[in-house]
Amino acid sequence: PAAKPAQTKPTPVQSKPAQAPKPAHIRAEKPAAAPAMPAAPASAASQSAYVSAMSAAIRSRLFYPPAARARGAKGIVGVAFTIGASGALTSFAITHSSGDEDLDAAARNLVQSAHFPPPPAGPVHVSTSFNYVPR
């Protein structure tokens, strides 16, 4: 059975050099991992650690699209995706649009360009959201 996502505190995003786009402020739900088959306690712990590390890696790369920033666009983009046993992204969907094409595209590109190591206990399904707020 799939675990319900738990709330986490916002993760500060570090600024890059001046020429890089400024990071967006996000509020992300902790992704829910759903192994393909029931896992032993050790596997569940390693799967949970994997999901936490993967989520942090994605959030650390979050950026605010310059065109959206120029318009003062803001919104929450909900996403769901599956990381296959090999670490390849096997499915992706925007589950909640922000209403802004640039913000939705940034969230899509963020996840689809990520390189994931193979999950320790088989495929992982992740549901999370990114809250884009201009600062």
CATH class of the domain comprising 41-132: alpha beta
- Report pLDDT for 87: 94
- How many Cβ atoms from other residues are within 10 Å of residue 129's Cβ? 19
The Cβ of residue 75 has, within 10 Å, a number of other Cβ atoms equal to 18
Q: Where are the domains of the chain?
A: 41-132
pLDDT score of 32: 43
Task: Say what the pLDDT of residue 83 is.
Answer: 95
Cα within 13 Å of Cα(62), Cβ side: 29
Report the C-alpha gap between 17 and 30 in whole angstroms.
28
| Tens digit of pLDDT at every position of the chain (135 positions) | 443 333 333 333 333 333 334 444 434 343 444 444 444 555 788 888 898 888 888 988 999 999 999 999 999 999 999 999 999 999 999 999 999 999 999 999 999 999 999 999 889 998 889 999 887
| pLDDT at 40 (0 to 100) | 52
For residue 113, the model assigns a pLDDT of: 94
**Looking at residue 93, what is its pLDDT?**
98
pLDDT confidence of residue 46: 86
